[in-house]
A and B are shown apart, each in its own frame.
Chain A
């Protein structure tokens, strides 16, 4: 599986967009990019995933570069409740388990 690189921590002002980067330069053609987050004392929560195209849902947007070597998760209007550790995971198709790295600790500041 392709490894990912994320900054260990980021700050974001409340109400502003939070843009979380992820590098996955060894990604292969059939591997998806997943984003999960973990709020303190809770289990991880699925946010979004993508293969090639940009994706958007009610929580976030995912932009994957054309060469697929990096991606950015955007929370359009961050709130204090978005303070969490965000994990970028690259994984092939099928049932194989997700492998979580250290993630990015996002702090949303009032």
Chain B
């Protein structure tokens, strides 16, 4: 059974803290993605990566960075968490060698910044 796992389902952090959200996939996928989801705004793309050590900005990269040192792992980093980063964070992965885009999503991490 293919899987995308995220390090935490729920996380509470304080303003100014550095936050790491980890995502691991076991499908040997080339592509990995980070989205955030907020009520009324839907899913918005933060960053994505097509390969190890590669990254591309999505629609809302401000306040975030990413790291992809290994193919199976894609980390989202909040350098200095702020209350407006309270959200549901979703990681996804997909194969890089197909015409179509079947993305597999993790269960999400609900982050609260106090």
Chain A contacts to B: CB under 8 angstroms: 32, 34, 36, 41-46, 49, 91, 93-103
B101 touches A101 (CB 8 A): no
B11 at the interface (CB under 8 A from A): no
B22 at the interface (CB under 8 A from A): no
A42, A94, A97: which contacts B48 (Cβ < 8 A)?
A: A97
- The minimal Cβ–Cβ distance linking B24 to chain A, given in whole angstroms, is 14
* Given known A-B contacts A95-B31, A95-B50, A43 and B108 have beta carbons under 8 A apart: yes
Interface residues of B in 75-114 (CB under 8 A from A): 90, 92, 94, 96, 99-108
Query: Which residues of chain B have C-beta atoms less than 8 A from A103's C-beta?
Result: 42
Bound form: Cα–Cα A42–B50 in Å: 24
Closest to A101 in B: B42
B101 touches A96 (CB 8 A): yes
Query: Which residues of chain B have C-beta atoms less than 8 A from A36's C-beta?
Result: 103
Chain B contacts to A: CB under 8 angstroms: 4, 30-31, 33, 35, 42-43, 45, 48, 50, 58, 90, 92, 94, 96, 99-108
Per CB-CB distance, the 10 closest pairs between chain A and chain B, nearest first, are: A43-B105, A100-B43, A93-B99, A46-B102, A44-B105, A43-B90, A97-B48, A100-B42, A97-B45, A95-B31
* Given known A-B contacts A43-B92, A43-B106, A43-B108, A98 and B42 have beta carbons under 8 A apart: no
Closest to A50 in B: B100
- The minimal Cβ–Cβ distance linking A15 to chain B, given in whole angstroms, is 28
B30, B35, B90, B108: which contacts A95 (Cβ < 8 A)?
A: B30
Bound form: Cα–Cα A99–B59 in Å: 10
Bound form: Cα–Cα A86–B30 in Å: 26
Bound form: Cα–Cα A99–B100 in Å: 14
A46 touches B103 (CB 8 A): yes
Bound form: Cα–Cα A103–B39 in Å: 12
* Given known A-B contacts A42-B107, A43-B92, A97-B58, A91 and B42 have beta carbons under 8 A apart: no
Query: Which residues of chain B have C-beta atoms less than 8 A from A97's C-beta?
Result: 33, 45, 48, 58, 101, 103
Query: Which residues of chain A have C-beta atoms less than 8 A from B50's C-beta?
Result: 95
